[in-house]
Amino acid sequence: MTEPLQQSDQLHTLKLLYVEDDPEIRRQLVVFLSRRVGKLLVAENGHQGLELFREESPDVVVTDIVMPIMDGLKMSEGIKLLNPDVPIIVTTAFNDQDFFLSAIEVGIDHYVLKPIHLDALLEAIRKAAKNVIQQREIESKNRELQLAAKVFDGSIEGILISTADNTIVSVNRAFSEITGYSAEEVLGQNPRLLNSGRQSQVFYRDMWDSLNKTGHWQGEIWNRRKNGEIFPQWLTISVLRDEAGEVNHYIALCTDISQRKFDEERIERLAYYDPLTDLPNRVLLQDRLARVLANAQRNHRAAAILMLDLDRFKNINESLGHGVGDAVLQAVAERLRTNVRDADTVARLGGDEYLVVLADIDDAQDVAVVAKKVLDSFAAPISVGDRELGVSLSIGISVYPNDGEDQQTLMKNADSAVYSAKQAGRNTYQFYTRDMNASTLEALMIENALRRALERHELRLYFQPQADMHTGEIIGAEALIRWQHPELGLLAPGAFIPIAEDSGLIIPIGEWVLEEACRHVKEWHDAGFNKLTVAVNMSAVQFRQDNLSSRISAIGRETGVDLGYVELELTESMIMHNAEQMIDTMRAMKTLNLKLSIDDFGTGYSSLSYLKRFPLDKLKIDRSFVNDISDNPADLAISKVIIDLAHNLNLKAIAEGVETEEQLRLLRNNGCDELQGFYFSRPVPAEGFMVMLHDGKRLEH
């Protein structure tokens, strides 16, 4: 007896229609065929067979000839009209020439004489199946080729295929769109027609070494379009080899990265240059100043810092508006550029402050000549529209190495000299001297009084509410210290915090602020406002304490507050100083469940590689960007970048210094999450904040 077919026979994939009117023959062959084909369709006469064929489209038909209603030949004629290529096998007792001629005319492919020999039938089915399977494979390959062609031509990446001798044999549509060359213009050419000349021979030698050794290469390359424009590409080249291992084709995939390069350069520009004046910002200034000082030390030369501050610039902003003020700042930057050497650096520190670094000078007299030249250049007014505005500068000068051997000391002393220049009547320059800083005595007096302020309970905490941009609800507050000075009245932190940091008093003062803030947030929660948070500014001196974690933990236990509702605000420059150590300290803070945010974000410089590693919860947009967000597209763009950056890092974005409805609208439209500022509320004493909570104060939409 014939055995069932194995899987390798491929009949298991076959769909077969069997038509037979004799029930006994039909029963026997159904058993036989069902064990050997993938799907068996059975009909009792030609009419049923034709209907089944229409519905199921079988691969092969096996049919009897003499049947009631419709015979096998008539049915076969109908089937061939539906599908001329389907194989038809007839089983018949006829064995004469007329029958075979009729079968040939109908298109019968095979016949098996009755009584049916099963092996003969099986062999006929195999032959028919072989043709079907071959046709399937051809159709499958055609579909694959059509798909490959669609992928090739529809790819957004440019594709170039060349032979082993680097003759271009095919390019796709994206290649033509990227390079400007049509297929007809490059077929038969060498890919070197795209060479821009920017890469050296060493570059190409290394590329080919990689291709020969590894079979692929990828990297950035500059090529030339048909119109002569040089543009950057990301290029991936793969080697195709034949069965003998010989190279027969190269496939190159190229992506135009011009926009990406533009975006990267723009981001880098924002990171290192002031967007208003296009001068180096503090980050780039620090780098250049470090190099100047290193060269001066190595070559035993002098260097100098000129700190420049515009005289009464505030009057211009307040009387003529920030638009005019910005134009003045840009004009000042241009005049400064034209009055120093190319080797010198002009930077904008922020606001109306500039700094000039003079490298490789002989003596102080050289610096005085430059300072006088700068002052003289502002004798002529600055034109802004139809206005002629007189602008003058006060310049403070510190010289390396006499006035300091590091950046911080030199800049601090230059700043003291600026103060002296203003005291001397403005529009002048002053060199730093150790006895010139009259404010030193005042600072000492404040320091002594500040030491007693803690003992005398003269320090106060005010709270500036923070609101959710979308719900309008108060979500917390920033704790802000004030000093109720017995003689000078209520002092803002700017009057004493710098002195506290220099003297070390910031440690006990900062601890007092944190403890008081925790006590108040516990009071809020006990009063039913149990989701409010409190933000506390943390100085760099505080954050570097060895026992900071244990002390904060103790304050949490003493006040009974859940530290998860306490947020420490850290400055951008602070966390970037010794960033690795800061990461460890911040992680220790997170183990206490504290929230962490970067205050004044955007005024310093955060390395993105570090920023993503810091365990932060929030970025606070500095008020310097918020102030002019309505008038200055650059400030709006920077604010949006900060908001997007925060969200991409799964952080909240909060804007400080929001004072107008327009600022609120722009920030809200750009996705800012939270705000604080005079528009919603000024800082208020603890009692006033509690009244605000009970009154249900909300941010209006």
Q: Is the model's pLDDT at 470 over the cut of 80?
A: yes
**Which of 129, 149, 169 lies at the terminal end of a domain, its last residue?**
149
| Global confidence as pTM | 0.43
Q: Is the model's pLDDT at 3 over the cut of 50?
A: no
**Which of 96, 126, 149 lies at the terminal end of a domain, its last residue?**
149
C-alpha–C-alpha distance, residues 317 and 636, integer Å: 19
**Which candidate, 232, 237, 236, places its Cα nearest to that of 260?**
232
164 and 131 in a single domain? The answer is no
Q: Is the model's pLDDT at 533 over the cut of 80?
A: yes
C-alpha–C-alpha distance, residues 25 and 19, integer Å: 11
Domain assignment of residue 2, yes or no: no
Alpha carbons within 13 angstroms on the beta-carbon side of residue 478 total 26
- The percentage of the chain sitting over the pLDDT mark of 90, rounded to a whole number, equals 39
* Mean pLDDT of the residues in the chain: 86
Q: For residues 429, 431, 435 and 438, what is the CA-based torsion angle, rounded to 10 degrees?
A: 30
Pairing of the two strands 674-675 and 387-389:
unpaired
Total structural domains in the chain? Answer: 4
Domain assignment of residue 263, yes or no: no
513 and 644 in a single domain? The answer is yes
Pairing of the two strands 533-537 and 474-485:
parallel
Structure-model confidence comparison of residues 612 and 461, the more confident one:
461
**Which of 231, 256, 281 lies at the terminal end of a domain, its last residue?**
256
93 and 186 in a single domain? The answer is no
Q: Amino acid identity of 176?
A: S
CATH number at residue 211: 3.30.450.20
pLDDT at 136: 75
Q: Is the model's pLDDT at 402 over the cut of 60?
A: yes
41 and 121 in a single domain? The answer is yes
CB atoms within 10 A of CB 348: 26
62 and 196 in a single domain? The answer is no
Alpha carbons within 13 angstroms on the beta-carbon side of residue 428 total 11
Residue 574 CB burial class (10 angstroms; 0-12, 13-18, ≥19): buried
Domain assignment of residue 36, yes or no: yes
Q: Looking at the DSSP assignment, which residues form a beta bridge with residue 557? A: none
pLDDT in tens, 131-169: 787 777 777 676 666 665 666 676 778 888 888 888 998
Residue 39 sits at φ, ψ, to 5 deg, of -145, 130
pLDDT at 518: 95
Domain hosting residue 97, numbered range: 7-149
pLDDT at 4: 45
pLDDT band of 5, cuts 50, 70, 90: very low
Domain assignment of residue 480, yes or no: yes
CATH number at residue 301: 3.30.70.270
C-alpha–C-alpha distance, residues 80 and 66, integer Å: 18
DSSP state of 34: H
Domain assignment of residue 225, yes or no: yes
The average pLDDT across 555-584 equals: 84
**Contact at 8 Å (CB) between 58 and 86?**
yes
Pairing of the two strands 247-256 and 302-310:
unpaired
pLDDT at 8: 39
Domain assignment of residue 447, yes or no: no
CATH number at residue 629: 3.20.20.450
419 and 289 in a single domain? The answer is yes
Tell me the torsion sign for CA atoms 7, 10, 16, 22.
negative
pLDDT band of 546, cuts 50, 70, 90: confident
Domain assignment of residue 1, yes or no: no
222 and 109 in a single domain? The answer is no
427 and 552 in a single domain? The answer is no
416 and 315 in a single domain? The answer is yes
14 and 118 in a single domain? The answer is yes
Q: For residues 281, 286, 292 and 295, what is the CA-based torsion angle, rounded to 10 degrees?
A: -150
Q: Is the model's pLDDT at 65 over the cut of 80?
A: yes
Domain assignment of residue 444, yes or no: no
The average pLDDT across 36-56 equals: 92
516 and 586 in a single domain? The answer is yes
177 and 248 in a single domain? The answer is yes
